[in-house]
């Protein structure tokens, strides 16, 4: 009996030894495989670096090449996104708060209230609520009885069902006027499809009384208005110029495209246009000639997040009725809304509505010279 147990122990010991050797071999092979893979990838990397060096290509040039690829494809992307877009729409179809937009006669006065960056300060990134200054201003907004209200992008820091529900509960559903949005980069952080399912297409135009309203999407083409979006813009401006009942054109967008020629101010906006703008081209091809016939107001909203940076902003081109303006929120004492009154005479009056506590002069005070850093 003792002999049998001794024999069993020997067999078990042999099996353990063989198993140990086998697994040790596997481990060594695995370690060697990892080592070879590392050597291989390192050698491939070195080979690629040597090739770049021979061809006089620097690593930073590869980044530039990738940027160029984005620039080249901006028109393609714009066209792909907007293949089903209708350029001229019924405003009732795209009101954020589902208002039915009643038609206006072209002889009636119109009041617009406008602001950008409604989520407020980036320091509130953990919050799903819009800027407290905007929420607290609802009564003030309603007392002024605007016909239309425009937000200029970045409705929420991080779009989600929860954040958009909060926006609706605290602001959209409380305002007694149709609300429209010119989308910003944050609006697409949960995907373009998510935004469009909530609020519809991102660029379009419509006629309202004596004004032509144009909403642009500065994000789809990375600050370049190209392809079908430019086609829409041209169509909207041309139709406004041809319509005797339209007295002025309002173009709303997020990024401050018109600062292309003012590099000393670009550093003050909320977010840069990393791949460049094509504003100069639009200016020379469309805006200047159109403004010689009817006033054009270009209004951006990617400002104000740092507590008043470039908000409010005002510039009028010499000798023509071409205006560039900007206004945005930062959940700060410097928060302000812009009220625009288009009178029956077609005259236009601009008024700032302070909602953060600080006082403001007339918007015409806040020119590029006002905002240019002193030496």
Structure tokens at 327: 């206004």
CB within 8 Å of 224: residues ≥ 6 apart: 71, 74, 75, 275, 276, 277, 278
Query: What is the maximum span of the chain, computed from C-alpha positions, in angstroms?
Result: 118
What pLDDT digit, counting tens, does each position of 121-143 carry?
Answer: 998 766 788 999 999 999 999 99
Mean pLDDT score, 24-38:
39
DSSP H or E segment with residue 142: helix 138-143
Would you put residue 49 in left (φ > 0), alpha (ψ -120 to 50) or beta?
A: alpha
Q: Where do we find the tokens 């877009």?
A: 85
In this prediction, residue 44 carries a pLDDT of 45
| CATH code for residues 68-371 | 3.60.21.10
3-class DSSP state of 84: coil
In this prediction, residue 200 carries a pLDDT of 97
| Residue 348 or 69, more confident | 348
DSSP H or E segment with residue 350: strand 348-354
Residue 144 pLDDT class (50, 70, 90 cuts): very high
Determine if the peptide bond prior to 312 is cis (ω within 30°).
yes
Contact, 290 vs 321, CB < 8 A? no
Contact, 326 vs 256, CB < 8 A? yes
Mean pLDDT score, 212-216:
98
Q: What percent of the chain has pLDDT over 70?
A: 80
In this prediction, residue 61 carries a pLDDT of 55
Q: In the 8-state DSSP scheme, what is residue 88?
A: B
Residue 336 pLDDT class (50, 70, 90 cuts): very high
Residue 60 has pLDDT above 90, yes or no: no
Domain ranges of the chain: 1-56, 68-371
The three-point CA angle 78-81-86 to 5° equals 95
Kindly report the pTM of this predicted structure: 0.82
In whole angstroms, what is the distance from residue 299 CA to residue 276 CA?
Answer: 19
In this prediction, residue 63 carries a pLDDT of 57
In this structure, how many other beta carbons lie within 10 angstroms of the beta carbon of residue 253?
A: 27
């Amino acid at each position: 009996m003792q002999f049998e147990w001794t024999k069993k122990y020997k067999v078990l010991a042999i099996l353990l030894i063989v198993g140990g050797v086998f697994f040790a071999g596997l481990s060594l092979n695995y370690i060697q495989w990892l080592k070879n893979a590392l050597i291989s990838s390192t050698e491939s990397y070195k080979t690629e670096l040597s090739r770049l060096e021979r061809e006089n290509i620097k690593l930073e040039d590869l980044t530039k090449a990738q940027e160029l690829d984005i620039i080249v494809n901006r028109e393609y992307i714009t066209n792909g996104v907007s293949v089903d877009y209708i350029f001229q729409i019924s405003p009732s179809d795209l009101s954020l708060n589902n208002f039915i937009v009643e038609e206006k006669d072209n002889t009636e006065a119109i009041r617009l209230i406008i602001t950008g960056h409604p989520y407020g300060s980036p320091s509130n990134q953990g919050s799903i609520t819009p800027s407290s200054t905007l929420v607290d201003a609802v009564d003030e907004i309603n007392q002024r009885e605007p016909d239309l209200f425009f937000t200029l992008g970045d409705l929420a820091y991080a779009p989600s069902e929860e954040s958009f529900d909060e926006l609706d509960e605290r602001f959209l559903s409380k305002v007694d006027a149709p609300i429209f949005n010119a989308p910003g980069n944050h609006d697409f952080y949960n995907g373009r499809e998510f935004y469009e399912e909530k609020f519809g297409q991102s660029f379009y135009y419509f006629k309202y009384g004596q004004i032509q309203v144009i909403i642009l999407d500065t994000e789809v083409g990375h600050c370049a208005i190209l392809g079908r979006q430019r086609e829409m813009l041209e169509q909207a401006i041309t139709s406004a110029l041809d319509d005797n009942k339209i007295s002025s054109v309002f173009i709303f967008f997020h990024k401050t495209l018109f600062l292309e020629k003012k590099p000393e101010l670009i550093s003050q906006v909320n977010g840069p246009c990393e791949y460049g703008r094509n504003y100069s081209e639009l200016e020379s091809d469309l805006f200047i000639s159109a403004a010689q016939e009817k006033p054009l107001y270009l209004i951006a909203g990617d400002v104000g997040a740092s507590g008043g940076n470039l908000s409010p902003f005002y510039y009028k081109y010499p000798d023509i009725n071409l205006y560039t303006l900007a206004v945005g929120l930062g959940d700060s004492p410097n928060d302000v809304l812009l009220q625009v009154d288009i009178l029956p005479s077609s005259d236009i009056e601009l008024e700032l509505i302070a909602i953060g506590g600080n006082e403001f002069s007339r918007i015409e005070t806040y020119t590029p010279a006002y905002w240019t850093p002193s030496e």
